Structure 1
Amino acid sequence: MSEPHPHRCHHHHHERDDHESGQLPYGQIDPAGHPTGGLGRRSMLAAAGGLLMLAAVPGTARAGTAMTAGAASAGAPAMAAPGASRASRISQGTTLVHADLHNHTVMSDGDGSADDAFASMREAGLDVAALTDHATMFAISGLSRSEWRTTGALANAADDPGQFTAIRGFEWSHPLQGHINVWNTSDFADLLRAGSPGSLYRWLAGRPGGLASFNHPGREIGRFDNFSYDASARQQLVGLEMFNRTDDYLFEGWSSWVASPLVACLNAGWRPGLTGVTDEHGTSWGFHEGKGRSGLWVAENTRAAVFEAMAARRCFATRVSGLRLDAAANGVRMGGVIGLVAGDVRFRVDLDRGAVWDGKPLRIQVLRPGTSVPTVVDVVDTVSGSVADFTVPLDVADGDWVVLRVSDPELANPTPGPSGHPCNDFGVAYSSPWWLQP
């Protein structure tokens, strides 16, 4: 099921661009998930000496070299490190922004003052940032109404249209069913207002413009009533976290005979974009290399344009700073619908992280529906700084979605799936899905 098919109707072509700026080295990770040099998968705060390299990604945001108090107290050097340019080589009209849409403060179970969070994320080089403290659940004292108003005031004060987008949100938190982030609503829901995923979807449907995401999918045993589908919430459920903190959720639960969250969610009928987040609970928001983050393709760096990009699923998940990923299938950008029953689909993938990754070998896996894990129908070798161009036959009879996973073939996946699965290497990024729809 998981082996790539022989290359049919294939042509692979790579266009190179050697004129982009540098990036911090990418740390090597051994199969147990421990760093062997450079910037590692586990937080450097836990490493010997407690040193944390601060990788700032400039762009429309300031890539300042100032440190937050939390970063300074960790003994962390501040380093501004540019990544790839923000312009796609395969599409027009949008610019890449780097985003982290899941962060906590002392207003729920985080350590840091909310007063410091947005400034820290801007200093770290993020272009888009959200605070999403927990709504109260049984074991966690979460947002009060006054704290919700405070979060909104802090976001409004930090928001700098065109330069830095600051967003207020909250994390609906159920100890068994899981956690769901919600953004762009005027109020919030705890378990008294919405005691189940279904009741949260009904609450959300009454707030047009509100957007939501399945968080660390599969960490809690109920998995959102096993991703029970609700058509009324499909448009507003715009995210599925594939990277949370340092973890790749592709095979979450597989060793316990539970289906991949990606497979379970998409097979159920949901149509989320794929995201990465730091889920920060400490005091150095934005300054963690190796934790999840998202790329969004926006018309401009404003709240309205960010929410439009999220609603269009024009996003990707990654866990390295400075990465640019844009992808189109038969000319349709990731997150879109391909009008196809069966036939050849031409993919073009723009993948770059700047000069330090120039020529770095990477791999693209074409993921399709499976029973418990994705079926991989093709594996394409590429290099950072190139545009990969390849063709894959797809048939809606095999399922209605396709996702591209980008990996580092030289490193092992610390949480692997079935023996021999092509995704048992180290995940670097996920495109949002495309959906086949005749």
Structure 2
Amino acid sequence: MPFNFQDLIEVILLESYNVRLVVISTMLLGITSGLIGSFLLMRKRSLMGDALSHATLPGIGIAFAIMVLMGGSGKFLPGLLLGASISGVIGVLVMLAIINTTRLREDVAMGFVLSVFFGFGVAILQLVKDVPGGHAAGLESFIYGKAASIVFQDSILIGGIALITSISAVLLRKEFTLLCFDDTYAASQGWPVLWLDILMLGLVTAVTVIGLQAVGLILVIAFLIIPAATARFWTHRLDLMLLLSAIIGGISGWLGASLSALLPRLPAGAVIVLVAATIFLASMLFGTARGVIPRLMDQARLKRRVGRQHLLRAAYEILEYHHQPAINLPISRDSMLEHRAWTPRQFKRLLGLARREDHLEPSAPGTIRLSESGFGEATRITRNHRLWELYLIRHADIAPSHVDRDADMVEHILGAEIVRQLEAELEPQSEIPASPHTI
């Protein structure tokens, strides 16, 4: 049934009690998932969250059976989450045992735990349906999630665990960072790498367990991975990545739960993941650090800069070949095309770029002439190229016949500081070193 404007206002302002509980709970879950998921992503163990989520299923079934046999209803959420936590921790320990005591790879250990524990959990859920006095209907909601069933006590539990987990992640940020980037170095410095690993996976288990009610054990892995992967497109700094990941997770939880409230037929877990995926796709395209479009634009700018530098250096080398590099004479276009392997179309595009940057001045048909600024730029580019060639020949044992190709790959990113270091290292006697190819 389509919603009206009044429904939209009520959801945005959180006027409904049930909507308020669900939205706040999922938003807190998203913030925590973003924080913990960032460390999991940098640790290159993103799929471990998937294995952990599936490892919680046997604990849910066993906890239900125990509570029923003790005279309870079996649906007490803290008891179910406790069982899920214990089962998840056992799954973590089994994975770490396989990884640290065998030669099997991590993906093998994760695949083993995921499949075996999930199969065990499905079998247990089928068995507990026959427990006398129990009503196991609804336990399957932990597989797919059922955010609409969150009540006040559940919200308090989710919020409390999310707060404790987030504070722990922030306080252990430096230790987790060292573990993620170089665990070997951390071990050599005396850090308890194994215990830090267990603690990190313990926090992942906590997030996974509190996410079962909202998004389910199948989709909770997306809540752990997608916000962190999305933030990675916007920054190279871990601190900023943690902040962005938490914000993206919170926004995904808020928007997903709100849309689910407006469209009751859509489950909250699926909508939350779809919202997070939409933000991920937008970030993949437009992210300033690793986005596709900014990278294509950077590559296009680099290509133009490289082409311009090749054009100016070719002009200088032709003048140098005629022993008149200090005299800015006209240069025939044919000699430029012979000097570099340009097509006429590429050459025409480079000439247009040089004119726009005021590196060429008017000349007779069939010739080009460098402007004063263009000649100075050509001199600088040629000098830097020669310095790099000499360095490669003297210190990297590159043959003079091959050095031009290797220098071409690097010269376009030489900064002023690197040029000064080359000057100090080589101590050139002339303003423009002679071409190494003539040595």
TM-score range, shorter chain: under 0.3
TM-score (norm 2): 0.22
Higher Cα radius of gyration? 2
Structure 1 length normalisation: TM-score?
Answer: 0.22
